[in-house]
Amino acid sequence: MLSFGAARTRLGRVATRSILRTRARHFSSTKSTSSNLTRYILTAGAISTSGLWWLITPRDGVPHLESPPTDHLVAEHGPSKEEVTRMISQDAYSFAVKNVAGVDRYDGTQLASNSLCEDRFTHGKLPSPLNDGSQWMTWAVFDGHAGWQTAELLKDQLLPFVRHSLSQVKPTSDEKNVPEELVQNAVIKAFVDLDDAIIKTALETSQSSESLQDKIKKLAPGYAGSCALLSMYDSASSKLHVACTGDSRAVLGQKGPDGKWEAIPLSVDQTGSNQDEIARIDKEHPGEEGISKNGRVLGMMVSRAFGDGRWKWSLDLQQELKRRFGAPSPLTPRYNVQTPPYLTAEPVVTTTKIDPSRPSFLIMATDGMWDVLSNQQAVDLVGKWVESAAGQKGSSTPEPEYEPFDFGEFRKDEDWRFKEGKTTVQDDNAAVHLVRNSLGGNHHEMVAGLLALGSPFSRNIRDDMTVQVAFFNVPGLGNK
C-alpha cells in the first residue's frame, strides 16, 4: 500500500483520468471497499476537482449493490489437505520445558465444534505450592456444557484455589514430605470451595443491591456447567496428581521392557453410566427412583460437574432466578426434583509416581476425543508419533485409496470409533496428531467431511476437542 504522501503525488498526476475511469465501475457493499473508495475520492477531490465526488457517489451515501449471477450458485469447496492441517493446527502450541526435572516437553491444541467453543484449558510452570523451593508443572482442560461461562471461570480461578489450599498443607513433624493423602484432600477442598462460591452465592447475589447486569454476569457460571481435569506434577517427588470432575480423561502411556507402550488410566469417567456413580447417587438420595436413567442423571450425562445450578439449587430459588434474571427453566416437571443437589464438583484424585527410568507421557483430553479413541488407542498413537523420528513430518506408509464416503457408512458396517488401519503420522505436534487420527487419520475425505460442517450442525457429528500431551523422560523431544 502506498503511503499517504506517495498517494498524493501519484494522484496529483493522474487524478482526472483515474476518477473518470472510476465512474464506470460498480462497487460492492463490503466495508473495506466502501472505506477505500471514500478515502480515494476524498484525497483526489482535495487535489483536483471536488465536484466529481457527486458524479460517482450517491448523495445519501448508500452503497450500490452488484447483481449476482442468476444461472447457478457459486458453491464453496470443502477443506483441502492443506486446509485440514491448518484447521486442526491453528490453536496448537508446544513448549520445551527447562529447569523442571523429569519433564521434557508438552504439546496441546483445541478444535472447536460449538461457536463459541465451550472448552477451555490452561498450562504452565509454577513454584511449588508446598513451598519446598521446587518447580511444579500443571495442565488442565475444562469441558463446558450449556455454555462456556463456567469453563471460562474455571480457567481463571481453579488453579488459584488449588494453590491456596495446598499452601495450607504442612508435613507432619516426623515426615520430610507431605503425605499424598493430605495433598489429595487439599485439592478436593479447593474444587468444592470454588463450586460453592459459584452455586451457594446465587441467593446472596440475587438479593444484593448490585446492578442487574452485574448480577446476571455473576449468575451465568451457575446456569452453565463444566467438567474439570487438572494434573499437577511435583518435580521434587516425581509424583503426578490428577483430579477429575466429570468425563474428561487422563491416561499415562508408559514404555515397558518389551518396547510396547502400556496405557494406565489416571481417571475414570464420572457419568450416569458409571455403576459406582449410580450407587453413590442412590445412596445419597434414598427413596428417589429413576435419578439415574438411560446413562444420565436427571437428564445430565455427567454425574459430577461445576455449575449446573438446576441440579443443585432448591426449586424455589430456580423459579425466582428464572423469573427475575432469565435463568434456564427448572428441571420440573420433566424430572422429579426432591432433594438437590444431585451433582457434585468433588473430584476423584489419583497420585502416580513417574518412573524416571522409563519413558512416559500424559494424555489429557475432553470427551470429544475419547468418544472415538480408547485409552490404548490414544497411547499407541502417541507411541507411534514418538517412534517416528520424534514427530518429524512425513508418514512412512503411502495413503491408501478409499471408496467414496459419507456418514451413512456409520449406519452400515462402520462406527465412529477409530480404526488402527487409518493411523497416520504427519504432524510435528503430538496433540494435533491425536486430533487428526481421532477424526479419521489417513482417510482424508472422512476428516475433511467432519470439518466441513460448521456450527451449529457440526455438533451432530463431533464435539469440541481439547488435547494436551506431556512427555516425561523421553530423550530427544525437548529440542524438537
Q: Quote the CA–CA distance of 132 and 116 in Å, as a whole number.
A: 40
Is residue 241 within 8 Å of 183, Cβ to Cβ?
yes
Number of domains observed in the structure of the chain: 1
CA distance 266 to 252: 7
| Amino acid 316: pLDDT | 94
Share of the chain above pLDDT 70, in %: 82
pLDDT of 69 > 70? The answer is no
Q: What is the mean pLDDT of the chain?
A: 86
CA angle 129, 270, 450 (to 5 degrees): 100
Q: Which of 146-150, 173-177, 233-237, 300-304 has the lowest mean pLDDT?
A: 173-177
CATH code of the domain containing 349: 3.60.40.10
Q: What type of residue sits at position 181?
A: E
| Per-residue confidence (pLDDT) for residue 374, from 0 to 100 | 96
Are 297 and 281 in contact by the 8 Å Cβ rule? The answer is: yes
Burial of 148 (0-12, 13-18, 19+ CB in 10 A): buried
Task: Return the higher-pLDDT residue of 348 and 73.
Answer: 348
Provide the Cα torsion 398, 400, 406, 410; round to 10°: -110
Is 38 within a domain?
A: no
Q: What is the pLDDT of residue 30?
A: 42
- Choose between 389 and 480: higher pLDDT: 389
Please identify which residue in the block is written with the cell numbers 438411560. 294
β-pairing verdict for 465-472 and 93-96: unpaired
Cβ partners under 8 Å of residue 119, min gap 6: 110, 112, 141, 142, 143, 144, 151, 366, 368, 464, 465, 466
Residue 53 lies in a domain: no
In a domain? residue 14: no
The pLDDT of residue 123 is above 50: yes
Answer yes or no: is pLDDT of 43 > 50: no
For 403, list phi and psi in degrees, rounded to 5: -70, 155
In a domain, 62, yes or no: no
Predicted confidence (pLDDT) at residue 283 exceeds the cutoff of 50: yes
pLDDT of residue 478: 53
The sheet carrying 249-255 orders its strands as 93-96, 103-111, 465-472, 360-365, 249-255, 261-265
For 355, phi and psi rounded to 5 degrees? -75, 115
Least confident range of 44-53, 138-147, 191-200, 280-289 = 44-53
Residue 72 belongs to a domain:
no
Instruction: Please check whether residue 124 lies inside any domain of the structure.
Output: yes
Q: Mean per-residue pLDDT for 195-219?
A: 93
Instruction: Report d(CA 311, CA 307) in Å as an integer.
Output: 9
Can you give the pLDDT at residue 188?
A: 98
What is the structure's pLDDT at 165?
97
Higher pLDDT, 13 or 306: 306
pLDDT at residue 127, rounded to an integer: 95
On the 0-12 / 13-18 / 19+ scale of CB atoms within 10 A, 137 is buried
Taking only the tens place, the pLDDT of each residue in 222-263 is: 999 999 999 999 999 999 999 999 999 999 999 999 999 999
What residue numbers bound the domain in which 359 lies? 81-390+404-472
Query: Bridge partners of 40?
Result: none
**CB atoms inside a 10 Å sphere around CB 336:** 12
Which positions ≥6 away from 461 have C-beta within 8 Å?
Answer: 407, 450, 453
Return the minimum-mean-pLDDT range out of 6-20, 169-183, 327-341: 6-20
And the C-alpha cell for 415? 462406527
Closest CA to 137 of 147, 127, 152: 127
Nearest by Cα to 354 from 176, 133, 102, 95: 102
CA separation for the pair 323, 337 (Å, rounded): 19
Instruction: Tell me what pLDDT residue 408 has.
Output: 83
Q: Quick one: cell of 459?
A: 455438533
What pLDDT score does 60 carry? Answer: 78
pLDDT of 14 over the 70 cut: no
Determine the Cα–Cα distance for residues 271 and 371; give it in Å rounded to an integer: 13
pLDDT computed for residue 133 by the predictor? 86
Mean pLDDT value of segment 460-465: 94
The amino acid that residue 299 corresponds to is G
pLDDT band at 11, cuts 50/70/90? Answer: very low
CA distance 128 to 235: 9
Within a domain: 263? yes
Q: Tell whether 50 is covered by a domain.
A: no
Task: Report pTM.
Answer: 0.84
What is the reported pLDDT for 366? Answer: 98
Calculate the dihedral angle through the C-alpha atoms of 152, 153, 156, 159, rounding to the nearest 10 degrees: -120
